[in-house]
Amino acid sequence: MLFNSFEFLIFFPTVVALFFLLPHRFRWLLLLVASYTFYMFWRVDYAIILVISTLIDYLCSLMMDRHPVEATSKRKPWLWVSLFTNLATLFTFKYYNFFNTAAKDLADVLGVSYAAPAFELLLPMGISFYTFQTMSYTIDVYYGRQKAEKHFGIFALFVTFFPQLVAGPIERAGNLIDQLKEKHEFNYERVTSGLKLMAWGLFKKVVIADRLAVMVNQVYNNPTDYEGIPLIIATVFFAFQIYCDFSGYSDIAIGSAQVMGFRLMENFRRPYFSKSIREFWSRWHISLSTWFRDYLYIPLGGNRVVKWRWYYNIFIVFLVSGFWHGANWTFIVWGALHGFYQIFGFLTAKQRDTAVELLGLGRNRIFYKFIQVGTTFSLVCLAWVFFRANNISDAWYITTHMFSGFGESAREIMFNVNGAWIKYLLFNQPPNTIALSLFFIIILLVIEYFHRKDLLNSGVNSLPTIARWGFYYFLLITIITLGVFKSNEFIYFQF
Amino acid sequence: MNLYTSSFNRLRLPVLFKLLVFLLILFLILWMIKTSLYAGVTKVRKGQVATVGKIISHQQNPDVAIFGSSVAWVHFNPEIISNITGRSSYNFGLNGTPLTQYQGLLKEFIEYSDSEVIVIAGTFSEFSGREAVAEIYRFTPYLDNYYLYEGLEQIDPNLLWKMKYVPFYPLTTLDYNFFQYAVYGYLGRIHHDDETEVNGFVPQHKIWRDSPRETSLKATISNKVVQQYKALVSLANARNKKVVLVLPPIYYEGVMKIENLQEIKEVFQSIAGTDNYFLDYTSNEICLDKSLFYNNTHLNSTGADIFSEDFSNKLSIILKQ
């Protein structure tokens, strides 16, 4: 079920109403049934994968819990069973064909015969999210950071909790399981605050992201039709599209959980205001970044190793992160590029500080910050090219023609040669599409900027009722009348 | 205040009342938006939106009514037809809309009109069927019409149900065109695309620059669509109207790429039967002249005039029979 669907509009209020009407002891059951229903709206048969994954992790954690933490030799096999099951499922559905094709290509190069068949399997929605969530649970149980959950229903709910089941935030057992057991009373302020967050998330998704998608797809699905400026505009649009799409989903997830009294972790903290790539990753997809930090980066040694090894750890983490997003070379390059940015940033920190001092940039803090934010955003956009492009050759074309064709495209746009305004500036869409997109991007940036100072919430709340309600009506009516509702899935559902 | 640990805050009456007032105002605003948009659109005098409105409100009652998709819309010049046949004529062609989508409109027209002849122009892919309703905004204000709703429901029942029965759902499907037409309707302005329209016909002053179709294709023939055609023709005959089915000109190189054109013609002929007429233009000499087309299946304004003249002469003979 999609958050931006009519079905969810019926589903969610029904679940919330039943949740508060039912006695506490039945609520977990209601949420579990609701979560499976939510998932099965997409596909019924794939729910079996969820059930199997839940059962195995539940049993493995119980088996581990029978032995003290120190008895690693008795606990470890169960950890391996759990990890193997999750990773094997992930591999089968998501990565098998990628490795199979790579092996075939390699065999062709070597002149060896290779005939393993390709599988036509549909990727289970949200598989990367829920497998990572359950893996973190069993790892935490193994290290004794988390008690194994004995209530199967609660554990199953932890795995499938519908607000965050298909696209996160990837929750930790330590945060969510206890909340699933607690009794949550109806709280008017919390409910309305959650609803506001949901409305804001929906606004970002259907009004901004899905509108931008029309233009981004136009360029990225036919990149060789363009050169220079349109490629740059489409890439910047994609940066906002993916942010509004994914953070919009997270807002709806966090908001819907909040309505029922559950607090999910923050997933985005205004990432495009970051002053460095390192800061960007502390603000973008936080639940995944912290997952990789805790379960990959630190076990690899983190920064408590010799320098080259530290850089190696960083690079590996970003490479794996890229691969997590999809079984395609484009994602691997995207991850590698971010790893390279980070390492380059560390290696050149001193030189950059010296340059800033020599140029006197530090004297004007606002200007300096603007330069930092602008540079970071540009680097992130460059990496997004690989993330969005349909394949490596398209990505290469886009990166190499963004600037090489800049002058020519600028001339064509300036003199409107061969309808360049319509093709390059409007992407063959009606003028209102781009006008509304720009208008809403500005609104987004203004709201994000004020939200940073926590003025939005308190600011709106301190307004007189008429103005406050006016703002809510504007948001809701814009969503209804200007939203793009064409069963567009959230981008991160594919991961 | 911590929203997660604060004590039980009952859903008191004032809160419920506030919620009710909020929703009531929201409903009121949405109702006003919907009503004013619909009212604006129904005031549109020209263009595809107006064509639908004119049928639903029974405003047009020509002697010769032309129905079809773009191949009707840009090919049949009602002025020429009227001049030659001496009968009033109107082009109800809807761009991107085959019979399976406009069948409800045609049914409505057959039921109310006094027309002598109904011309149905269909291209070679006419019997392929539809999986989604194209440009639904043209029909949105009129979904209360029984025939229109019934026809569109056959294409996408889920969407149509929501469009009709879920309050304000249609507002989520509207696009820029709808808003634009609503505003133009109020201002009494004509959309620039429709400025040249005469009785529904919009001549296309275009030149064909692209190459003709190179790959061959086989058009699907859906039995369901064929049955829809037959039912409508029977209904028209039952209301004393002759039906003329037309397969309009296709550029000759494109004709050769359609693998099952003969089969398609036979289907048209079988629908026409002995009581109605089928005019096949795919072997007409117009098809040989690329300068009369703006793409494989559409004539430009010059081509349309030549075609309309030829068609009118044939229609005159039919009208005398």
CA A170 to chain centroid, in Å, comes to 10
Q: What 3-state class would DSSP assign to B282?
A: coil
Residues of chain B neighbouring A17 (CB-CB closer than 8 A): none
d(CA A75, CA A63): 7
Amino acid present at B126 = E
Partner-chain residue, chosen from A186, A190, A476, that has the shortest CB–CB distance to B4? A190
pLDDT of residue B7: 46
CA A214 to chain centroid, in Å, comes to 20
Per the structure, the count of domains in chain B is 1
Residue B180 within any structural domain of the chain: no
What torsion do the CA atoms of A250, A251, A256, A258 make, to the nearest 10 degrees? 110
Residues of chain A neighbouring B172 (CB-CB closer than 8 A): 480-481, 483, 485
d(CA B278, CA A222): 42
Asked if A167 and A129 count as a contact pair (C-beta separation under 8 A), the reply is yes
Which of B9, B10, B169, B183 best tests the A interface by mutation, with the highest count of A CBs <10 A? B9
pLDDT of residue A378: 94
pLDDT of residue A220: 92
d(CA B307, CA B300): 10
d(CA A448, CA A118): 45
- For B147-171, the pLDDT digits (tens) are 999 999 999 898 899 888 888 888 8
d(CA B249, CA A397): 42
Residues of chain A neighbouring B181 (CB-CB closer than 8 A): none
pLDDT of residue A121: 77
pLDDT of residue B6: 45
User: What is the C-alpha end-to-end distance of chain A, expressed in Å?
Assistant: 16
Asked if A283 and A266 count as a contact pair (C-beta separation under 8 A), the reply is no
Q: What percent of chain A has pLDDT over 90?
A: 49
Residues of chain A neighbouring B4 (CB-CB closer than 8 A): 190, 261, 263
Q: Can you give the CATH number for the domain in which B108 is found? A: 3.40.50.1110
- For A74-130, the pLDDT digits (tens) are 889 999 999 999 999 989 888 888 888 888 888 888 888 877 777 777 888 888 899
User: What is the C-alpha end-to-end distance of chain B, expressed in Å?
Assistant: 87
How many of the other CB atoms lie within 10 Å of CB of A80? 13
Q: What 3-state class would DSSP assign to A290?
A: helix
How many of the other CB atoms lie within 10 Å of CB of B36? 12
Amino acid present at A295 = Y
Asked if A314 and A339 count as a contact pair (C-beta separation under 8 A), the reply is yes
If you count them, how many residues does chain A have? Answer: 495
Residues of chain A neighbouring B162 (CB-CB closer than 8 A): 6
DSSP-derived letter for residue A268 is -
Give the residue on B whose Cα is nearest the Cα of A179: B4
- For A393-408, the three-class secondary structure string (H helix, E strand, C coil) is HHHHHHHHHHHHCHHH
**A&B contacts, CB < 8 Å:** 54
> Above 70 in pLDDT, residue A223?
yes
Q: Both tokens of residue A340?
A: 């390279």
Query: Which residues of B make CB contacts under 8 Å with A?
Result: 1, 3-4, 6-11, 15, 22, 25-26, 29-30, 33, 162, 166, 168-169, 171-174, 176-177
Partner-chain residue, chosen from A6, A188, A483, that has the shortest CB–CB distance to B162? A6
Residue B37 within any structural domain of the chain: no
To the nearest whole Å, the CA of B123 is away from the closest chain A CA by 27
The answer to whether the CB atoms of B6 and A190 lie below 8 A apart is yes
Domain ranges of chain A: 6-183, 190-494
The answer to whether the CB atoms of B9 and A188 lie below 8 A apart is yes
Residue B125 within any structural domain of the chain: yes
The answer to whether the CB atoms of B26 and A476 lie below 8 A apart is yes
Residue B44 within any structural domain of the chain: no
User: For tokens 């509304």, what's the residue?
Assistant: A436
Pairing of strands B298-299, B277-280: unpaired
> Above 50 in pLDDT, residue A452?
yes
Mean pLDDT (whole number) for A454-463: 72
> Above 80 in pLDDT, residue A489?
no
The answer to whether the CB atoms of B9 and A261 lie below 8 A apart is no
Q: Which residues of A are catalytic?
A: 325
Residue B78 within any structural domain of the chain: yes
To the nearest whole Å, the CA of B55 is away from the closest chain A CA by 27
User: For tokens 């990789």, what's the residue?
Assistant: A292
H-run or E-run covering B119: strand B117-121
Q: Both tokens of residue A50?
A: 């969820």
Q: Both tokens of residue A367?
A: 């200007």
Closest CA to A99 of A124, A116, A111, A83: A116
ipTM: 0.73
Q: Both tokens of residue A48?
A: 């079996």
- For A356-414, the pLDDT digits (tens) are 888 887 778 888 888 899 999 999 999 999 999 999 999 999 998 888 766 776 777 77
**Mind listing the pLDDT tens digit of every residue in chain B (321 residues)?**
455 544 445 556 677 788 889 999 999 999 999 999 999 988 888 888 889 999 999 999 999 999 999 999 999 999 999 999 999 999 999 988 889 999 999 999 999 999 989 999 998 888 888 888 888 888 989 999 999 999 999 998 988 998 888 888 888 888 777 888 888 888 888 877 777 888 899 999 888 877 766 778 888 889 999 999 999 999 999 999 999 999 999 998 888 888 888 999 999 999 998 889 999 999 899 999 989 999 888 999 999 999 999 999 999 999 887
Residue B262 within any structural domain of the chain: yes
The answer to whether the CB atoms of B3 and A189 lie below 8 A apart is yes
- For A134-176, the pLDDT digits (tens) are 999 999 999 999 999 999 999 999 999 999 988 879 999 999 9
Instruction: Report whether the peptide linkage leading into residue A169 is cis, meaning its omega lies within 30 degrees of zero.
Output: yes
Residues of chain B neighbouring A465 (CB-CB closer than 8 A): none
- For A243-284, the pLDDT digits (tens) are 999 999 999 999 999 999 999 999 999 999 999 999 999 999
More confident residue, A450 or A313: A313
Give the residue on A whose Cα is nearest the Cα of B1: A189
Amino acid present at B294 = Y
The answer to whether the CB atoms of A190 and B15 lie below 8 A apart is no
Label residue A418 by pLDDT band (50, 70, 90). Answer: low
Greatest distance between any 2 Cα atoms in chain B = 87
d(CA B72, CA A33): 53
Could you give the C-alpha distances from A336 to A258, A323, A342, A383, B159, in angstroms and in order? Answer: 36, 10, 10, 9, 44
Residue B217 within any structural domain of the chain: yes
Which of A16, A186, A188, A465 best tests the B interface by mutation, with the highest count of B CBs <10 A? A188
Give the residue on B whose Cα is nearest the Cα of A483: B172
Q: What percent of chain A has pLDDT over 70?
A: 93
To the nearest whole Å, the CA of B174 is away from the closest chain A CA by 7
d(CA A188, CA B12): 9
Residue B216 within any structural domain of the chain: yes
Residues of chain B neighbouring A203 (CB-CB closer than 8 A): none
Give the residue numbers spanning the domain of B170: 59-133+142-175+191-320
Give the residue on A whose Cα is nearest the Cα of B21: A469
Amino acid present at B121 = A
d(CA A204, CA A251): 9
Label residue A424 by pLDDT band (50, 70, 90). Answer: low
d(CA A170, CA A136): 9
pLDDT of residue A190: 86
Partner-chain residue, chosen from A263, A430, A432, that has the shortest CB–CB distance to B4? A263
> Above 80 in pLDDT, residue A451?
no
